[in-house]
Amino acid sequence: MKTSIVVDVAFWLLAVFAVYTGWRVFRTDSMVRASFFLLLSFIAVGVIMLLLSAVYLGVAMFFMMGVEMMVMALFMVMFMMNPAGLNPMMMVHQHRLSIGAGVASFVMLAAMALLAEFPRHPLPNDVQPVAALGNELMGESMLIFESAAVVLLATMIGVVVLSSQRGRFGSAEQGSMPPGLEPGGDPAGMPDEDEQAGGHHHCH
Amino acid sequence: MTLTTVLLLAAALIGIGVYGALSQQSFVMLMMGLELMLNGVMLAAIGFWAMSGAGAPEGQLLTILVMAVMAIEMAMGFALVVAVYRGKQADVTESIADLKG
Amino acid sequence: MALSVMLEQLVWPLAMVFAVLGGGVYLWAVLDGLAARSFGLPQAQSVWLTPLSRGTWLLIQQANSTEAPDLWAWRLAPALYLALAAVGLALVPWSQGWVATDLATSLVLWGSLEALATVVIFLQGWSANSHFALVGAYRYVALGLSYILISMFVLIGVALPAESLALTRIVASQQDVWNLVRQPLGLPLFLMVGLALTFRGPFNLADPRDLAGGTSVEVSGPPRLVWELARSAMLVAFSGIAATVFLGGWLGPWLPGPLWVMLKMLAILALLAWLGRWFAVMTPSRCLSLMWLILLPLAFVDLVWAGVVALL
């Protein structure tokens, strides 16, 4: 595939941006920021896909990841500590090992990319990526596509079962106490049982 | 932009993802590491599709399937986080040591 | 030669996009003022002057700050929202060969702009580090995740008869009969998506009065001006897309194509201004019930309808 100088420059800028934002995900102090850095990394990769003339998938990437990272940020604010990034935050374990594993996998994959001989069959000039993908999904690979759909349906059911109000392990509110202020302490922000009962009687 | 450079970028993303998935304590940050790895996988698949596979439609199909896997991973991951949080008030991996030998 | 090609393919379409964006934002503000007056709300001065004086006033005000905001995100969010609106309008085909961005998947790109708008609006509310702004952002995400689905189904419906995801092909497919007639449920549903996308009228969950201004409660001065411009600009871009996919875009007798697109956009903006003032603001819970229990099933019906019509 012969690429023009504009495409090359764009690719390198996007590649640096994707790696930088991907790295910032684990280096920022706020979890909301982390999820949006990840979104930026995905968007950069989506634009590279557009440069590689995968017109549908590149755009679908913006779409999917926009919603997905939004949900992620939502969960961050709901559950996790330090969503606003007002305190320094570095929550890691087995740090050296992880860095080693990350570097090792990069070196291994990079060696494969540099050393292996891949066949060179660039895109034909008359390729229509969107139509080809559509025909593949609705033709030859219909069964694969359908099974992905069934798996997604199973996921939806599983998610509802796991997070619904009445599961097989009792009602959801039963266990939902806020954590204590100190480890093992009383739940924070909950009124005493007696007070609650008193208030209840008062209402009647 | 050659196949090698695209694959190098994919390798870098996968490497950062491996680091994140192994090092982060918080469940959600851990999932971000997984997502970053899948990001690299999708890029590599599209790179092969465009430069090595002569635009065979299966390459795009593979990427669609990886996207579906991402959606499943996210949905199941968050449902599990919710369930674990309700049960144990835990949002970091250290707080659930049931399976520890 | 190269210069004339560049002028024709890049410069003129982009100039057109920015001109329509600017003019559309002003006309929208005027239409909204007229709609307010028609419902008996007193206007301090002529509706033609109000947008200009408000804009000037915001421009010379000081941009205040909160305690420890995420300054990058806070200052960038309005600009990003405006950028999304500009990209959206760049997708609108003005005539057969006159499009700023002619992608094979421009319809999907519009969908992803809607998704990214949710992110940007959340960012605006979250980054201010203020209670009401965060509540507004949260409400908007709940709304956003609902309207994106409705929008998706409605837009798949219009792609069916065209057998294409390109907006030019979708306009061409309406040569005989507009999608407004072919899929009567489509435009009403899509109009509600438009109101939700720019959180206006009944769907104003992000910046409502009961949150003292919601996501923009702490924003003043020039950033506030950009935010209000962006909200209106997004509505203008939305009206362009709606005119393209439901009202036949550039198709029409007598007048040149671009003029038809603009007239149709203006009609949609006027309708939205009136609808936005006609309905009361909904509470978040009722709004979500409406979205998931009524509008989403209706969007399914619309899609099935489109499929059956395409098969017949």
Of C89 and A95, more confident:
C89
- pLDDT attached to residue C295: 93
Q: Tell me the average pLDDT of chain A.
A: 80
Inform me whether the C-beta atom of residue A35 falls under 8 Å from chain C C-beta atoms. Answer: no
In terms of Cβ atoms closer than 10 Å to its own Cβ (0-12, 13-18, 19+), residue C253 is: exposed
Give the containing element (helix H, strand E) for C235.
helix C221-246
Of C91 and B56, more confident:
C91
- pLDDT attached to residue A204: 39
Q: Kindly indicate the confidence band of residue A53, based on its pLDDT and cuts at 50, 70 and 90.
A: confident
Report the C-alpha gap between C86 and C229 in whole angstroms: 11
Q: Kindly indicate the confidence band of residue A13, based on its pLDDT and cuts at 50, 70 and 90.
A: very high
Nearest CA in chain A to B88: A175
Report the C-alpha gap between C267 and C275 in whole angstroms: 12
Q: Kindly indicate the confidence band of residue A118, based on its pLDDT and cuts at 50, 70 and 90.
A: confident
For C197-220, what is the mean pLDDT?
A: 86
Chain C residues touching residue A56 (CB < 8 angstroms): 104-105, 108, 165
Query: Tokens standing for B8?
Result: 């190098």
SS3 content of chain B, % helix, strand, coil (to 5): 80, 5, 15
Of A24 and C47, more confident:
A24
Among B3, B2, B7, B40, residue whose Cα is nearest residue B21: B40
> Does pLDDT of A175 surpass 60?
no
pTM of the entire predicted model: 0.87
Among A199-203, C29-33, C68-72, which range has the highest average pLDDT?
A: C29-33
The DSSP code for A171 is E
Among C161, C156, C148, C153, residue whose Cα is nearest residue C248: C161
Report the C-alpha gap between C196 and C121 in whole angstroms: 12
> Does pLDDT of C176 surpass 50?
yes
- pLDDT attached to residue A169: 54
> Does pLDDT of A14 surpass 90?
yes
- pLDDT attached to residue A198: 43
- Grouped pLDDT means (10 residues each) for chain B, 101 residues: 90 94 85 92 91 82 90 88 76 70 61
Among C173, C240, C253, residue whose Cα is nearest residue C24: C240
Inform me whether the C-beta atom of residue A62 falls under 8 Å from chain C C-beta atoms. Answer: yes
Inform me whether the C-beta atom of residue C74 falls under 8 Å from chain A C-beta atoms. Answer: no
For C246-273, what is the mean pLDDT?
A: 89
Asked if A67's CB is within 8 angstroms of C145's CB, the reply is: yes
- pLDDT attached to residue A76: 77
Mutate which: A6, A24, A41, A55, vs C, most C CBs within 10 A? A55
Query: Tokens standing for A178?
Result: 């806020």
Distances (CA, A) of C108 to A59, C93, C221: 7, 15, 35
For C143-152, what is the mean pLDDT?
A: 90
- pLDDT attached to residue C65: 84
pLDDT tens readout for residues C11-23: 888 888 899 999 9
Closest partner residue to A69 (CB to CB) among C70, C119, C126 is C119
User: How large a percentage of chain C has pLDDT more than 70?
Assistant: 99
> Does pLDDT of A199 surpass 50?
no
For A156-178, what is the mean pLDDT?
A: 68
- pLDDT attached to residue A197: 44
Angle at C296 between CA C291 and CA C301, to 5 degrees: 150
> Does pLDDT of A81 surpass 70?
no
Nearest CA in chain A to C112: A63
Report the C-alpha gap between B1 and A192 in whole angstroms: 65
For C250-274, what is the mean pLDDT?
A: 89
> Does pLDDT of C52 surpass 70?
yes
